[in-house]
Chains A and B, each alone.
Chain A
Amino acid sequence: MTVLSLVIFLPLVAALALYLFRLGDRASVWTWIVASAADLAIVVALWIGYDGPGIGYETNARWIPSVRAGYHLGADGLSLPLLALTSFLFLGCAVYSLRQTHRVRTFAALFLFLETVSLGLFAALDLLLFFVFFDLSIVAMYFVIAGWGHGERLRSALRFFLYTFFGSLALLLGFIGLYLGSSPKTFDMVELTRNPPLADSPGLAGLVLLAIVVGLAVKTPTVPFHTWLPPAHTDAPAAGSAILAGVLLKMGTYGFVRIAMPMLPDAWRKYAWVIVIVGAVSVVYGALVALAQRNLKRLIAYTSVNHMGYIVLAVGAAGLAGDEAARRLAVTGAVTQMVSHGLLTGALFLLCGVLYERTTSYDMDEYGGVARVAPVFAGLLAVASFGSLGLPGLSGFIAEFQIFTGVIGAGTTGAAIAGGISVLGVLITAALFLRLLQRVLLGEPGTLTAKVTDVGVAERLAIVPMLALAVVIGVAPRFLLDLVEPVSSAVIALVAR
């Protein structure tokens, strides 16, 4: 039993314990909180103890030897921030769920299972293992939406399941392509990274990359594969949305940096411009569509398309020609954005939940002047919104500034144009968040304003740490960047092969 296995399976054990000891509702949530907190503590210890660069805490056990797929785990500067983010967000959702009343034990068990799956994915160093976790995340989230959602939850959950399952099938196809193209044949990510498969058959490599990119693009999601996201978010419970946006979307972007770029470097470089265009389009399109939304949760869902677009833009630009230091900066920005988006959008979705729980409506036109009746809520929503629109002093700026500067600074005309267009996203998101603040918090009271009460203790304890961490990263980002920068250098070097 290695420490990473402990991190991964601790939540699952806790979930089993809920049933084994037939715990009640209160006890279930508290078990969830304690298990997540213990997990977070271990991950923080791993972070502190990590002695990079390279992979630490490695385990490689036999699993399916016939196809050379192993139970291979490890953590480096790319996975550690995401492991930390995952355990941090799950703890936040656990605390937030202290108010949960509907089938609490099953809810807690499902989230603990989802936590195991998410942590496992970010620690997996074997494609099959990665894929198993990738698929299980869809299953678990399906039940979260279908069981505890609202509105057209069954429909949205089914659509979420089918669409992302289609994506994961494409991904599986790509993984099998990687396996078949490797020699000796293996699913091991470290070996595939060391000896990129299909190096001498560019056509096949392009097809495999296409399958992998489509699979990851559905999960991320990027335009035009994003339409499952808004209904899934709108009808999911608040904690489910927070995890979906905060953790599950990162599985897509993580896959770009962990799998697509280093394992298919030639094909990545060849088609990098496509990725760049998809990224730039996602940035502008996501922001514009978000601007037109009346439904608060749909709006935030679309800003995810925008924010993930910056990441896709950056990883695409990393494959273009140009200044190496600048492209490293872009990749660092992309990883920072994964963490930043998790914190800020997680907080935003929990805040949406606060509102919905009191009024059962996401229609922004029915609010107004909420700052009068719920000043703390207003303050938190304002901070999260300004963070999300990229205000310096919060994590979003640190991420986006590095992405813009890296992409434009690479020094090629195409990258400069794509970067220049994407900068517009910062202005559009500013416009939409100011409209959001105006419609919900400020001005004259709306029809539902009187129903809103301020955030309670549990809600505060869940949301404030997320925003506080976003501020810490925004003001003193070095602790995170020191961890990420070696990975960026490595990835850029791998892509350049």
Chain B
Amino acid sequence: MSAIAWALPALPLVVGALLLLAGRRADRGAPILGVAAGLGTLGLAVAAAVARPDVTFPLFAGLPAGMAVDGLSAVLVVTVASAALAVLVFAAGDIGPDEARARFFGLMLVFAAAMLVTVTATDLAVLLMAWEVMGAMSYALIGFWWHDDERVESANVAFLTTRAGDLGLYFAAGCAVAGTHSLSLDALPDAASPWRDLVAAGVVLAALGKSAQLPFSFWLSRAMAGPSPVSALLHSATMVAAGAYLLLRVHPLLESTGWAETLVAWAGALTALVMGAVAVAQRDLKQLLAASTVAQIGFMVLAAGVGSVAGGTAQLVAHAAVKCLLFLGAGAFLTALGTKDLSELHGAARRYRLVGVTFGVGALALAGLPPLSIWATKDTILASTPGSLYAVGLAGGVLAAAYSVKMIVAVWHPQDALTRDDAEQPGTRHVGLAEKLPMPVLAAVGVGFGIVALPGVLGPWQKLLGASGEHGPTALELVISGGLAVLVAAVVASRRVRVPRLAVAENWLYLGQAADRLVARPVLALANALAWFDDRVLDGAVRAVAAGGRAAATVTSRRVELPTDGLVDGLGRAVRRLAALARRPQTGQVHTYYAQAAVLLVVLTLVVVLVG
């Protein structure tokens, strides 16, 4: 039983690690191996969802670690494994044979494995380990084309921004031990104050960073530097979804603090609204999708804040399918036509019908049009949302309709003067079977998953997630949001209203620039100043001591050593002179010795007489 809990992340992890170790030698077999591992992982995920395994193991002293699959985790592991498989199949066609395929598939598998551990971890240590590995894999995948400095820079920004948030989890782990003497996620709400508040603050920080919520959103814009399949996985079921998952998981903690729920709800709702506006302003398809991801994740964060675990989870699953589909579609267009500029993509959907149709379906679902999935899941969240938050959420939904339809119009508009192929890279004019294969499946989920919000199904869905008793959407709410979405969609589709260009929104609120100016550059300046201080002042003091020692030595040798030496020398000279004097009587002639002896005898006699 517990073997499944180990095997589920181990399969993609081990296959991925082996592919990475093998390097370019394994390029040929990598797609097959990757897809096979993806299939196996999905099988294990389904098995785990049924069997609900649970393992604990010793990791740090007195802090047992564990992985378990409960209802929420069951939904997540199946979602993650499905999205990963869809993306791997697509990538088998999209990542060409001249690319470093072993590295690509290896990183993707480890990426998926890390997410699987994240959603099954029962304690903060294992969660943080998987959480950080996932960040590192996203770094390596965003910087996959590392020859290009710009892409590497984007990877750096992504890793550093998310790790800045991760510091919250490091801190939270310490506070959890202080407050509960354990790292268990279940024990967090029981922590004593103020540790409980600090834990909540750390967890919220980490989740907002990972999910690219305001003010961290800019890293996701830069994350587009990676290959399209990376975006498809990173935006759907891994990475950004991890933040939303964590907040849904620790909802009891958020609830227990009294303030964290409100904070999270507003952070999510405002992100949904503001980033929705940013998405509307985008002119690049992938940038639009990225902004829309942030906005849609905002609804899940809102769900965690208002205690709609069932709604938030449903939104996560529906969005994962839809966004995966849309990124795969955008990737297929980019590969085939060499552009992702919305105006240059005119006619793209007509040239590649299957991609166009599934892309269109996904976009309609994203727009929140009834009866598609996100319409229902979003309303399940909003059903639990009080007054002013509800209005903000509804406004976010309206913007979703606007940007979604904007995409549909762009790709379904007939080719015209603005259509330019190969503006960014040479296109292949080809969308292969592997690329097409996952699209209809994802589209079907994107269309139908709203079923969980239906009165007969919502109950069991809530029961599965252990969230019975949460509100479901009322008919009125459904009609209002559906009607608004249809209205906005119709207006945008008619192309009567021109959306004014808003530089702030187009540039992602200048959040990236702000982070650069307000954080990165000051820190670098401080580092340079400290390096100067270290070299000149601190080491300078050491050098000064050494120089002082040398100077003292010189002084000693001149002022002390010389006189002392002179004294000794003088003594020597005096002795030498005396010796010279003493030598004078030594003539070697007998008569002088007699004379000397006689004189001495007289002197001696005189002395004896005088003294005596």
Q: Which residues from chain A sit less than 8 Å from chain B, CB to CB?
A: 159, 162-163, 224, 227-228, 285, 288-289, 291-293, 323, 325-326, 328-329, 332, 369, 371-372, 375, 379, 386, 391-393, 397, 401-402, 404-411, 416, 419-420, 423-424, 426-428, 430-431, 434-435, 438, 441-444, 477-478, 481, 485, 488
Stretch of B56-64, B335-343, B426-434, B590-598 that contacts chain A:
B56-64
Q: What is the minimal beta-carbon distance from A50 to any residue of chain B, in angstroms? A: 18
Residue contact B178 to A323, C-beta cutoff 8 Å: yes
- What residues of A have a CB within 8 angstroms of the CB of B133 in the complex? 391-393
A328, A393, A408: most-surrounded residue (chain B CB, <10 A): A408
- What residues of A have a CB within 8 angstroms of the CB of B159 in the complex? 430, 434
22 contacts between A and B (CB under 8 A): A227-B542, A288-B526, A292-B528, A329-B63, A332-B60, A332-B61, A392-B130, A392-B132, A409-B174, A409-B176, A416-B175, A416-B198, A423-B170, A427-B163, A427-B164, A427-B167, A434-B155, A434-B160, A435-B156, A443-B148, A443-B152, A444-B147
- What residues of A have a CB within 8 angstroms of the CB of B174 in the complex? 404-409, 416, 419
* Set A163, A393, A416: member contacting B178, Cβ < 8 A: A416
- What residues of B have a CB within 8 angstroms of the CB of A224 in the complex? 538
| B521 contacts A by Cβ under 8 Å | no
Q: What is the minimal beta-carbon distance from A363 to any residue of chain B, in angstroms? A: 15
- What residues of A have a CB within 8 angstroms of the CB of B63 in the complex? 329, 405
| B36 contacts A by Cβ under 8 Å | no
Distance A412 CA – B129 CA, assembled complex (angstroms): 26
Given contacts A416-B178, A430-B163, contact A291 B524 (CB under 8 A): yes
Distance A419 CA – B601 CA, assembled complex (angstroms): 97
| B23 contacts A by Cβ under 8 Å | yes
Residue contact A408 to B129, C-beta cutoff 8 Å: no
Distance A144 CA – B289 CA, assembled complex (angstroms): 58
Name which residue of chain B comes closest to A420, CB basis.
B171
Q: What is the minimal beta-carbon distance from B321 to any residue of chain A, in angstroms? A: 29
* Set B132, B148, B530, B546: member contacting A288, Cβ < 8 A: B530
Distance A426 CA – B135 CA, assembled complex (angstroms): 14
Residue contact B61 to A485, C-beta cutoff 8 Å: yes
| B181 contacts A by Cβ under 8 Å | yes
Chain A interface mostly: helix
Q: What is the minimal beta-carbon distance from B536 to any residue of chain A, in angstroms? A: 11
Distance A393 CA – B527 CA, assembled complex (angstroms): 29
Q: What is the minimal beta-carbon distance from B547 to any residue of chain A, in angstroms? A: 12
| B125 contacts A by Cβ under 8 Å | yes
Q: Which of B154-207 touch A at CB < 8 Å?
A: 155-156, 159-160, 163-164, 167, 170-171, 173-178, 181, 183, 195, 198
- 18 additional A-B pairs beyond A227-B539, A332-B61, beta carbons within 8 Å, are A228-B542, A288-B527, A289-B531, A371-B146, A386-B136, A401-B125, A404-B170, A405-B63, A408-B175, A409-B175, A409-B177, A416-B178, A427-B164, A430-B163, A435-B156, A441-B146, A443-B152, A477-B59
Write the B497-531 contact mask toward A (1 if CB under 8 angstroms, else 0): 00000000000000000000000000110111011
Name which residue of chain B comes closest to A432, CB basis.
B527
- What residues of B have a CB within 8 angstroms of the CB of A477 in the complex? 59
Residue contact B149 to A438, C-beta cutoff 8 Å: yes
Given contacts A392-B129, A427-B163, contact A291 B147 (CB under 8 A): no
- What residues of B have a CB within 8 angstroms of the CB of A379 in the complex? 23
* Set A326, A397, A427, A481: member contacting B129, Cβ < 8 A: A397
Residue contact B160 to A329, C-beta cutoff 8 Å: no
Residue contact B538 to A393, C-beta cutoff 8 Å: no
Residue contact A443 to B170, C-beta cutoff 8 Å: no
Residue contact A292 to B527, C-beta cutoff 8 Å: yes
Residue contact A443 to B146, C-beta cutoff 8 Å: yes
The number of residues on chain B lying at the interface, defined by a beta carbon within 8 Å of a beta carbon of chain A, is 54
Write the B225-249 contact mask toward A (1 if CB under 8 angstroms, else 0): 0000000000000000000000000
Given contacts A163-B542, A408-B177, A411-B178, contact A438 B156 (CB under 8 A): yes
Distance A411 CA – B62 CA, assembled complex (angstroms): 16
| B153 contacts A by Cβ under 8 Å | yes
- What residues of A have a CB within 8 angstroms of the CB of B160 in the complex? 427, 430-431, 434
Residue contact A401 to B170, C-beta cutoff 8 Å: yes
Distance A371 CA – B410 CA, assembled complex (angstroms): 40
Residue contact A481 to B60, C-beta cutoff 8 Å: yes
* Set B129, B195, B534: member contacting A227, Cβ < 8 A: B534
| B92 contacts A by Cβ under 8 Å | no
Residue contact B167 to A426, C-beta cutoff 8 Å: yes
Distance A305 CA – B339 CA, assembled complex (angstroms): 48
- What residues of B have a CB within 8 angstroms of the CB of A408 in the complex? 171, 173-175, 177-178
Residue contact A401 to B147, C-beta cutoff 8 Å: no
Distance A369 CA – B133 CA, assembled complex (angstroms): 24
Residue contact B546 to A442, C-beta cutoff 8 Å: no
- What residues of B have a CB within 8 angstroms of the CB of A162 in the complex? 546
Residue contact B530 to A285, C-beta cutoff 8 Å: yes
Name which residue of chain A comes closest to B533, CB basis.
A289
Distance A291 CA – B520 CA, assembled complex (angstroms): 12
Distance A326 CA – B198 CA, assembled complex (angstroms): 17
* Set B132, B136, B153, B171: member contacting A423, Cβ < 8 A: B171
Residue contact A426 to B178, C-beta cutoff 8 Å: no
Distance A369 CA – B530 CA, assembled complex (angstroms): 29
Given contacts A224-B538, A401-B173, contact A329 B60 (CB under 8 A): yes
Given contacts A404-B170, A408-B171, A442-B152, contact A481 B163 (CB under 8 A): no
- What residues of A have a CB within 8 angstroms of the CB of B531 in the complex? 288-289, 292-293
Distance A121 CA – B146 CA, assembled complex (angstroms): 45
Name which residue of chain A comes closest to B20, CB basis.
A379
Q: What is the minimal beta-carbon distance from B259 to any residue of chain A, in angstroms? A: 19
- What residues of A have a CB within 8 angstroms of the CB of B152 in the complex? 438, 442-443
Q: What is the minimal beta-carbon distance from B246 to any residue of chain A, in angstroms? A: 16
Distance A431 CA – B155 CA, assembled complex (angstroms): 11
Distance A293 CA – B128 CA, assembled complex (angstroms): 30
| B312 contacts A by Cβ under 8 Å | no
| B143 contacts A by Cβ under 8 Å | yes
Write the B131-149 contact mask toward A (1 if CB under 8 angstroms, else 0): 0110010010001001111
Distance A416 CA – B458 CA, assembled complex (angstroms): 44
Name which residue of chain B comes closest to A411, CB basis.
B178
- What residues of B have a CB within 8 angstroms of the CB of A163 in the complex? 542
Distance A478 CA – B57 CA, assembled complex (angstroms): 10
Please provide the 7 A-B residue pairs with the shortest distance between their CB atoms, ordered closest to farther. A408-B174, A409-B177, A392-B129, A292-B531, A227-B539, A411-B178, A443-B149
Q: Which of B117-133 touch A at CB < 8 Å?
A: 125, 128-130, 132-133
- What residues of A have a CB within 8 angstroms of the CB of B530 in the complex? 285, 288-289, 292
Residue contact A393 to B129, C-beta cutoff 8 Å: yes
Distance A419 CA – B139 CA, assembled complex (angstroms): 27
B132, B152, B171: most-surrounded residue (chain A CB, <10 A): B132
- What residues of B have a CB within 8 angstroms of the CB of A288 in the complex? 523, 526-527, 530-531
Q: What is the minimal beta-carbon distance from B296 to any residue of chain A, in angstroms? A: 28
Q: What is the minimal beta-carbon distance from B129 to any residue of chain A, in angstroms? A: 4
- What residues of A have a CB within 8 angstroms of the CB of B181 in the complex? 323, 325
Given contacts A423-B167, A438-B152, A442-B149, contact A292 B178 (CB under 8 A): no
Q: Which of B43-67 touch A at CB < 8 Å?
A: 58-63
Distance A326 CA – B173 CA, assembled complex (angstroms): 11
- What residues of A have a CB within 8 angstroms of the CB of B167 in the complex? 423-424, 426-427
- What residues of A have a CB within 8 angstroms of the CB of B136 in the complex? 386, 391
* Set B58, B178, B523, B542: member contacting A326, Cβ < 8 A: B178
Given contacts A326-B178, A393-B129, A416-B178, contact A442 B163 (CB under 8 A): no
Residue contact A397 to B146, C-beta cutoff 8 Å: no
Q: What is the minimal beta-carbon distance from A447 to any residue of chain B, in angstroms? A: 16
Name which residue of chain B comes closest to A434, CB basis.
B156
- What residues of A have a CB within 8 angstroms of the CB of B61 in the complex? 325, 328-329, 332, 481, 485, 488
B23, B63, B526: most-surrounded residue (chain A CB, <10 A): B63
- What residues of A have a CB within 8 angstroms of the CB of B528 in the complex? 292
Distance A405 CA – B167 CA, assembled complex (angstroms): 12
Distance A369 CA – B139 CA, assembled complex (angstroms): 17
Distance A427 CA – B143 CA, assembled complex (angstroms): 19
Q: What is the minimal beta-carbon distance from B6 to any residue of chain A, in angstroms? A: 13
